[in-house]
Amino acid sequence: MAKLTKDELLAQFEEMTLIELAEFVSAFEEKFDVTAAAAAPVVMAGGVAGGAAAEAVEEKDEFDVILTAAGDKKIQVIKVVRELTSLGLKEAKDLVDGTPKPVLEKVAKDAADKAKEALEGAGASVEVK
């Protein structure tokens, strides 16, 4: 397999959605047993990650709220999802049934925290990325 240049890697990352990039960063962290914050010095020293870890380390101002599990109180979680989004009952139920799924994308930190708190209050498991 040919080695990709830094520019080729960056071009690949540009084509990814935020969720795909977050999944890549998680997989990278697991594979190399690092965290995004700890990976920054490795990247600066010419490490394996290219631009991926550097992008993940940058200060984020947009967050995704991802429902990872509905928990025991699925009906309450569906109600909260409907309150947070403009989804109808069927769409909200499908989202909750198809976890893990993003509930909100590219929202401010405080909105993401409020959504996480509301969903967890209803019994769901939530991740903010």
Residues 6+ apart with CB under 8 A from 69: 99, 100, 124, 125
Give one DSSP letter per residue of 7-67, joined into a string: HHHHHHHHTS-HHHHHHHHHHHHHHHT--HHHHHHHHHTT-TTTTHHHHHHSPPS-EEEEE
Rounded to whole angstroms, how far apart are CA atoms 19 and 49? Answer: 18
Integer distance in angstroms from the first to the last C-alpha of the chain?
A: 32
pLDDT digits (tens, 9 = 90+) for 11-46: 888 888 888 888 888 888 888 888 766 444 444 444
pLDDT digits (tens, 9 = 90+) for 51-85: 554 555 556 778 888 988 888 888 999 999 898 88
